[in-house]
Structure 1
Amino acid sequence: MELYKKIINREEKISLLGLGYVGMPIAVAFAKKIDVIGFDVNKEKINLYRSGIDPTKEVGNEIIKSTTVDFTADETRLREAKFHIVAVPTPVKEDRTPDLTPVESASRTLGRNLTKGSIVVFESTVYPGVTEEVCVPILEKESGLQCGVDFKVGYSPERINPGDKEHRLETIIKVVAGMDQETLDVVAKVYELVVDVGVHKAESIKVAEAAKVIENAQRDINIAFMNELSIIFNKMNIDTKAVLEAAGTKWNFLNFSPGLVGGHCIGVDPYYLTYKAEQMGYHSQIILSGRKINDDMGKYVAESIVKKMIKANKQINGAKVAIFGVTFKENCPDVRNTKVVDVIKELEEYGVDVKVVDPAADKEDLWREYRINLCEIEDIKEMDAVIFAVPHEEIKAISLEKIKDMFKPVEKVYLEALNEVAATSELEQDINRNDCILIDIKGMYNRKEAEDKGFLYWRL
């Protein structure tokens, strides 16, 4: 426990490698108690933090301005720390196999600057075995040090929920693991400095890795079940949300809802587990079935929108459609692996002109990742359909009356219809139909109220 004592006495520092949605809040939390070096290879991001700007919006600009985290893009500064936390993303490749490039790169960077007596803790979500079988050899090769003799390793899976102001680092039990009892005790004591609700000591690093990867796999499977129910009930002309509200009155009914499953966790982590299972000779059935349903939901939503437009006698090719919300979840600027993009691409395949509005999304990331430019709400006029995909607080504040103004004025619809039909009865029928198509993917609005206001309404 000598290292722990030196850390709390500020005789030794800790470092955070990777200052994104997970690493930065951890660094800020620790900096309230001990000395912290915050390292990231992205110099632009480091400059933003140094300027008091929080691009992740996880803690806010004011906290970034006041934090004592020593932000740096100079990897040699890592030599000043003895306790290192690696919190880099672990995405999947196009073939949906694990992409360990970020964690391997971080291991090489840290290995070049690792000193004797250090402890390295990985937080990145991986399949069981990555820490000891992939990362440790890299650390040893780059540092020339021996694991278990010159340095130790641990694992503590991140559980931060981006955009969630209630479930934070301090309020979520932290799973910790170490390569031996001494390492486990030190890792637990260090994390107890910032985790108010305490830690859970896993019996091994592989157990902790497995625990993390199944957390999101479980959620993925449950959401896939809800999505499948939504597809079935839509065919039956039954409102899925109403069904779930009724079923939810039973005490042991699980509270999940249908939706687009994206992001860097739920939509990715299950593939890490199934990949490792394949290596062991087992082909996943339930996990991959759930993944297929969720991966296909963007296409299903787009096709459902087109059907509604056809029902409303809309010309599909050249139609104008607005989508509100493009991030992978509400109240978060993160656009990584967002499935809203699947809806956009599918609609564009039909020749639809899609306008995207999102007050929370990171504009630069959105353009860099998907070549999508954002519009302002004032630009949304004379639409053929309006889609609400992500319930950001700013988006939820938009009233049905405001949405109605986004469609073609009745007078214009009348003139267009006048050119197409001759009989007065046909004209009146054409004008009086539900012409305003409202697609409410997450069920933000009251269906009856929307339909009473003349919307042709659809939701999952």
Structure 2
Amino acid sequence: MSLFEKIKNKNEQISVIGLGYVGMPIGIAFAKKASVIGFDTNQKKIEMYGMGLDPTEEVGNKEIVNTSMKFTSDERALKGAKFHIVAVPTPINLDKTPNLYPVEEASKILGRNLTPGSIVVYESTVYPGVTEDVCIPLLEKHSGLKCGKDFKVGYSPERINPGDKVHRLENIIKIVSGIDEESLDEIANIYELIIEAGVHKVNSIKVAEAAKVVENSQRDINIAFMNELAMVFDRMSIDTNEVIEAMNTKWNSLKFYPGLVGGHCIGVDPYYFIYEAEKLGYHSQIILAGRKINDGMGRFIGENIIKKLVLANKGMDSAKVAIFGLTFKENTPDTRNSKVIDIIDTLLEYGIRPIVVDPVADKEEAKREYGIDLIDICDIDELDCAVIAVAHNEFKKIKLSQLDSFFKDDGSNKKILFDIKHIFDKNSLNNYDVWSL
């Protein structure tokens, strides 16, 4: 009997290592079809899951309460599984080089608890070669087993879009790969238990690794192009959004928009590709240029806020600015690698200490990562400038009368509004000096 059949019949278990924005949805989905062990080294996170709470808000508390997945921080529980999915984050260092520490540590932990006949699938984003050159040697070293003989390995890049309730795990085609044809077939069959859209088999692990970093690099480059246009159109006093709306009337328009590019995928993955290319003697031109543009958008916005305040005769030491949104994208609590912080840092350089409101963000994470104390929206008043940095649904519900109440009512100048995400109807903002990307 194949491992797929044993898992389908619940004679063998699946483990998911890393229960974050990627691992939790995978674990929840598999638990509806198989027996699943959910492992994470973060004891506090495990306790929250045990109480039926979902800090990621990816699957929701109801799914956590009703799932049959067994949550644990005890690595020895991994010995009870035969199919292991590694879904830990792969961030970058301060010098923009890959930080493989999480995936290396996960490999060591799994290696210590790996049993013969197992299959290990990595979902963490890496540059081509990491699975075979870094992860497999660690699994072998800490297990005493031999890859290909005692256990098999594959790679299947995660494609989850945090906060997206339309493009979900189940309806996104899954790329799968394995070290040989046997492992590839087993991995494909097991993922097809939950992936309604089906799987796409590739011939090598390196191809699967490359596909992940390239698809996000492609998006990064396209957004960088729109960001560059936005910076030029700002100098031309042309509304970038109107240009895009006109452009999008053509059938082959790609429909990308300017904006802040952060998070742990698009803002990170291109650096993995650049790193490996430079190791091989090729200096990236387009991808690196795109990264430079996108990494500079927070400062660009921040400096435009300063210009508007100066033109309105607002003193830098007394100007009151509110930033609406701190997360890296709308409707998700994740603040990791948020580029909103670049706007805030630019204002701080000029002596402005903005207040920040975000009803979706994880308050503890905001304080821990950035030293920011988030305030409630009801406490905002006497503003000189409001910056809508993230298009949370809560912010889209703000009425014009409520927006007016946030500002000083001294009648000296128009209210300054940076509506970066175009959530307000510009034609209704007659009493505002509006700036947007």
Name the counterpart of 1:200. Answer: 200
Query: Any unmatched runs of 5+ in structure 1?
Result: 414-430
Name the counterpart of 2:296. Answer: 296
Aligned to 1:446, which of 419, 422, 425?
A: 425
Contact residue 319 and residue 351 of structure 1 kept, 8 A: no
SS of equivalent to 1:157: coil
Q: Does 1:172 align with 2:151?
A: no
- For 1:229-378, what aligned pairs fall within 5 Å after superposition? 229-378=229-378
CA–CA distance in structure 1, aligned partners of residues 354 and 305 of structure 2: 12
1:314 CA drift (Å): 1.1
1:79 CA drift (Å): 0.1
> What amino acid is the match of 1:271?
Y
> What amino acid is the match of 2:311?
K
1:317 CA drift (Å): 2.2
- For 1:29-178, what aligned pairs fall within 5 Å after superposition? 29-178=29-178
CA–CA distance in structure 1, aligned partners of residues 425 and 236 of structure 2: 20
Q: Does 1:221 align with 2:221?
A: yes
TM-score normalised according to structure 1 size? 0.94
1:7 CA drift (Å): 0.6
Give the CA RMSD over aligned residues: 0.8
SS of equivalent to 2:196: coil
Contact residue 383 and residue 406 of structure 1 kept, 8 A: yes
Q: Does 1:459 align with 2:436?
A: yes
CA shift digits 1:410-448 (9 cap, x unpaired)? 3xx5xxxxxxxxxxxxxxxxx3x42x1000111111222
CA shift digits 1:197-225 (9 cap, x unpaired)? 10000111000000011011000000000
SS of equivalent to 1:277: helix
CA–CA distance in structure 2, aligned partners of residues 448 and 230 of structure 1: 20
CA–CA distance in structure 2, aligned partners of residues 231 and 281 of structure 1: 32
CA–CA distance in structure 2, aligned partners of residues 227 and 159 of structure 1: 24
Q: How many residues align?
A: 437
Contact residue 318 and residue 353 of structure 1 kept, 8 A: no
CA–CA distance in structure 1, aligned partners of residues 350 and 398 of structure 2: 28
CA shift digits 1:120-140 (9 cap, x unpaired)? 000000000000000000000
Name the counterpart of 1:423. Answer: none
CA–CA distance in structure 1, aligned partners of residues 5 and 405 of structure 2: 63
Name the counterpart of 2:382. Answer: 382
Q: Does 1:13 align with 2:37?
A: no
CA–CA distance in structure 2, aligned partners of residues 288 and 163 of structure 1: 27
CA shift digits 1:319-378 (9 cap, x unpaired)? 110011100000000000000011011101111121111010011111111111100011
Larger Rg: 1
TM-score normalised according to structure 2 size? 0.99
SS of equivalent to 1:353: coil
1:316 CA drift (Å): 1.8
1:399 CA drift (Å): 1.6
SS of equivalent to 1:99: coil
CA–CA distance in structure 1, aligned partners of residues 401 and 270 of structure 2: 41
CA shift digits 1:380-402 (9 cap, x unpaired)? 11011001000111111112221
CA–CA distance in structure 1, aligned partners of residues 134 and 154 of structure 2: 13
1:409 CA drift (Å): 2.1
CA shift digits 1:259-298 (9 cap, x unpaired)? 0000000000000000000000000000000000000111
Bigger drift between 11-20 and 351-360 goes to: 351-360
- For 1:425-440, what aligned pairs fall within 5 Å after superposition? 431=412, 433-434=413-414, 436-440=415-419
> What amino acid is the match of 1:163?
G
> What amino acid is the match of 1:266?
I
1:315 CA drift (Å): 1.1
